[in-house]
């Protein structure tokens, strides 16, 4: 694991898996990590806190064993309780400043952004990284339209923090995303809907590495 949060999230080519609770959660996540996933986030919008805690503790254990950081979405209090490596916050969640007061100093804290205004405000926070998107509309963000590739280009030019692109990340899309400025990639459905997540993660890893190599 990287020596500090900023070292970790700034590393080019990172694959950041977001997954809801599922029956095969531990095995699924372990397979994704073996295939090349670098960060894991539990993103569960519909479960009770008790269920989230149980799942989070399971993921904290497997991620620790495989030396990959575990992030919990939204709930700073639960992230503290399960000793997650960090917390990812949306625009309507607790402010970054409060998360910093509650969580250990070593915690990774991220912030979602969906527009240039939100990105500029995110630059002014103590977040370790930002997420940018979704570049295309996705079922994981119901009611939120895609932000288009222009927002990614804007983020590449004006973000003062490392950022991860979200929305429609797949082996077929990563080259265009890299050319537009992406260096970190949040992936959801490409892996969560795969019948062979380890193989799919390897394919995504290969596509990202090939796209990044073209920048050299």
Secondary structure class of 178 (helix, strand, coil) = helix
Domains and CATH numbers, the chain: 11-213 (3.20.20.70)
pLDDT value at residue 143: 53
* 136 half-sphere exposure, CB direction, 13 A CA radius: 11
| CA dist., res. 171 & res. 125, Å (int) | 32
pLDDT value at residue 139: 57
Q: Tokens standing for 35? A: 């295939």
pLDDT value at residue 9: 86
Task: Report yes or no: 98 and 82 within 8 Å, Cβ to Cβ.
Answer: no
**DSSP result, 86-150:** EEEE-TTS--HHHHHHHS-TT-EEEEEE-SHHHHHHHHTS--SEEEE--SS--TTSTT-----HH
Write phi, then psi, for 127 (nearest 5 degrees).
-65, 145
Burial class of 120 by CB neighbour count within 10 A (0 to 12, 13 to 18, 19+) = middle
Per-residue pLDDT of the chain (216 residues; tens, 9 = 90+): 445 656 778 899 999 999 999 999 999 999 999 999 999 999 999 999 999 999 999 999 999 999 999 999 999 999 999 999 999 999 999 999 999 999 999 999 999 999 999 999 999 999 999 999 999 756 555 554 556 899 999 999 999 999 999 999 999 999 999 999 999 999 999 999 999 999 999 999 999 999 999 997
Q: Which helix (H) or strand (E) holds 164?
A: strand 163-165
Quick count: other Cβ atoms within 10 Å of Cβ 155?
Answer: 25
């Amino acid at each position: 694991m990287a020596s500090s949060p900023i070292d970790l999230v700034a590393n080019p080519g990172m694959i950041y898996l977001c997954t809801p609770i599922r029956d095969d959660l531990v095995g699924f996540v372990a397979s994704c990590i073996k295939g090349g996933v670098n960060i894991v986030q539990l993103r569960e919008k519909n479960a009770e806190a008790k269920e989230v805690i149980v799942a989070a503790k399971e993921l904290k254990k497997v991620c620790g064993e495989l030396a990959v950081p575990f992030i919990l979405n939204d709930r700073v209090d639960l992230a503290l309780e399960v000793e997650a490596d960090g917390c990812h916050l949306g625009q309507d969640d607790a402010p970054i400043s409060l998360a910093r007061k509650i969580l250990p100093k070593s915690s990774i804290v991220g912030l979602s952004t969906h527009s240039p205004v939100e990105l500029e405000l995110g630059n002014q926070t103590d977040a370790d990284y930002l997420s940018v998107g979704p570049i295309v509309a996705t079922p994981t963000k119901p009611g939120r339209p895609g932000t288009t590739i222009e927002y990614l280009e804007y983020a590449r030019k004006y973000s003062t923090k490392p950022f991860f692109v979200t929305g429609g990340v797949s082996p077929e899309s990563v080259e265009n995303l890299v050319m537009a400025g992406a260096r970190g990639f949040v992936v959801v459905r490409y892996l969560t809907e795969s019948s062979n997540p380890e193989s799919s993660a390897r394919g995504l890893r290969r596509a990202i590495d090939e796209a990044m190599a073209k920048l050299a």
